[in-house]
């Protein structure tokens, strides 16, 4: 790491120490050695925080506030830059989405994601640009055990506008803390649409996108 990076970390460490963070907490937050933190903050006054009898939520520190402010700023900037999609932009965006996330096997379309915005976007896109038979939609839910299955089913049905009668048997996963501690509260959704012609139409759009002169080198 360059000198500038070290100077920035020293300043951050001193700010956190002034907020009564311990040396180990600062080291963990900044990803540096505790011995380095000790040197950087040796002249900063420190008064240990009294231990609370019950766990209390820590207020966001200066670094967390800066991070959140940057996130909020860039989210707003991204929304402004994208704006409202035209018909053609919507067509291209959906093709790009399926190129990255969709199944490529002939005869059926399958799109899976844990983000309901992605699922909702793709379902709306498919309905906009293709003549569909709604009875050919199917949905399957991947949900960890211990989470509310009924609530998740109703939620995904409202996102996809697919009746729950067209939902397949959900897959209930057993959480493995050694792999991950977080779980998606409404699981991961898999949307199928069975039609060779529609699938080939979608793949035609994907082909057109990836072979466009605007993205080819030279």
The one-character DSSP state at 84 is S
Half-sphere exposure of 88 (CA within 13 A, CB side): 1
Q: Residue 175: what pLDDT?
A: 65
Q: Residue 177: what pLDDT?
A: 58
Q: What is the mean pLDDT of each successive set of 10 residues along the chain, which is 218 residues long?
A: 59 84 85 83 76 63 86 90 91 94 89 93 96 96 88 93 94 67 77 95 94 65
Q: Residue 203: what pLDDT?
A: 95
H helical segments located in 46-191: 62-82, 87-101, 116-129, 149-160
**Structural tokens at position 116:** 């309901």
Prediction pTM value: 0.65
Calpha distance 144→186 (Å, rounded) = 9
How far, CA to CA in Å, does 85 sit from each of 39, 44, 208, 211? 53, 53, 19, 22
Calpha distance 133→194 (Å, rounded) = 9
Cα–Cα nearest to 190, from 142, 124, 118, 126:
142
> Which H or E run includes 199?
helix 196-210
Q: Residue 121: what pLDDT?
A: 95
Calpha distance 170→139 (Å, rounded) = 9
């Amino acid at each position: 790491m360059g000198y500038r990076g070290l100077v920035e970390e020293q300043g951050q460490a001193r700010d956190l120490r002034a907020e009564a963070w311990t040396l180990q907490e600062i080291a963990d937050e900044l990803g540096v050695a505790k011995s380095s933190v000790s040197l950087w903050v040796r002249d900063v006054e420190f008064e240990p925080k009294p231990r609370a009898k019950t766990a209390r939520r820590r207020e966001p520190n200066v670094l967390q506030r800066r991070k959140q402010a940057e996130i909020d700023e860039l989210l707003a900037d991204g929304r402004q830059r994208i704006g409202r999609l035209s018909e053609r932009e919507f067509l291209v965006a959906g093709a790009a989405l399926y190129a990255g996330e969709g199944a490529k096997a002939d005869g059926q379309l399958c799109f899976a994601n844990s983000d309901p915005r992605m699922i909702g976007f793709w379902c709306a896109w498919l309905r906009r640009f293709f003549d569909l038979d709604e009875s050919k939609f199917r949905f399957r839910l991947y949900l960890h055990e211990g989470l509310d299955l009924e609530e998740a089913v109703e939620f995904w049905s409202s996102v996809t506008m697919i009746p729950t009668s067209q939902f397949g048997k959900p897959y209930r996963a057993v959480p493995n803390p050694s792999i991950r501690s977080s779980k998606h509260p409404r699981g991961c959704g898999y949307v199928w649409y069975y039609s060779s012609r529609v699938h080939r139409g979608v793949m035609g759009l994907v082909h057109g996108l990836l072979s466009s002169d605007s993205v080819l080198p030279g």
